[in-house]
């Protein structure tokens, strides 16, 4: 099991740290996946996916979903609908 340095509660209490542009997205993802999420300082693990904000030099306006090997699967701008991000993540996790 992955033991990381943060909790979802810490994330929300601190307005998402550097991921604050994705706060609404994070709330929806957390409501759906709950305890399956493992939150670290720079990454969120969810089953076979890793979720990063400002990955590979991108600005904090972008969130990237990678597989567990680090291959990029999808990148979203914060203006994307939280529903679309959640649906994409559900599809990626179920693969």
Q: What is the mean pLDDT of residues 67-92?
A: 95
In this predicted model, which residue has the larger pLDDT, 4 or 28?
28
Output the furthest CA–CA distance in the chain (Å, rounded).
Answer: 33
Q: What is the mean pLDDT of residues 52-70?
A: 92
- Render pLDDT for 12-59 as a digit per residue (tens, 0 to 9): 787 777 788 999 999 999 999 988 888 877 888 998 999 999 888 899
| Residues written for the chain | 95
What does the pLDDT read at residue 78?
Answer: 96
Give residue 72's Cα distance to chain centre.
13
Residue 66: is it exposed, middle or buried by C-beta count within 10 angstroms (0-12/13-18/19+)? buried
Q: Cα separation of 48 and 92, whole Å?
A: 8
């Amino acid at each position: 099991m992955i033991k990381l340095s943060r909790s979802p509660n810490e994330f929300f209490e601190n307005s998402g740290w550097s991921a604050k542009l994705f706060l609404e997205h994070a709330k929806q993802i957390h409501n759906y996946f709950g305890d399956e999420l493992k939150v670290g300082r720079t990454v969120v693990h969810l089953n076979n996916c890793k979720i990063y904000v400002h990955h590979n030099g991108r600005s904090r306006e972008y969130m990237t979903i990678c597989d567990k090997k680090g291959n990029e699967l999808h990148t979203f701008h914060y203006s994307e609908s939280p529903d679309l991000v959640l649906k994409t993540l559900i599809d990626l996790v179920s693969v």
